[in-house]
Amino acid sequence: MFLLVAFLGYLIAQISEVMNRTKQPNEKHPRDFSIEFFLKDNWIKMLLSLMLVVSISLLVNYTLPGFLVLFQLPEDFIMEEVNLIIYALIGFAPEKVLQLMKKRGDNILQPKEIKLKGHVYTRKPTKPVS
């Protein structure tokens, strides 16, 4: 159940990114918005984010009982509803952090080329971040 809630948080972050994306062509996005281009442009970031979400969720799930014992708290200290909100945030946060890193312009989380409908879009080098 906790992984499902974390995955829903991850999906909310993805939907947020799609909704806030520029829909018209510009310097960074050579075509009108399309889901296919979005997925090809962001697959590295999305895969890394999903791995972080699963890893952090598993870590929290398996260490939370030990954490509660360490501080001598009852096991029902964190109510199930609060616990689910924590997992939703775990699903949401890594994706948002990676989105910010991507927007910073390092091109670390993006492919060098994107092939879409017979066109090849090559990523332009970024300016050094100061």
Over residues 18-57, the pLDDT tens digits come to 888 777 776 666 667 778 878 887 888 889 999 999 998 8
How much is the CA Rg of the chain, to the nearest whole Å?
A: 18
* CA pair distance 57, 2, nearest whole angstrom: 7
The one-letter code for the residue type at 126 is: T
Q: Which pair of tokens denotes residue 97?
A: 């952090």
Q: Report domain extents, the chain.
A: 2-122
What pTM was estimated for this model as a whole? Answer: 0.68
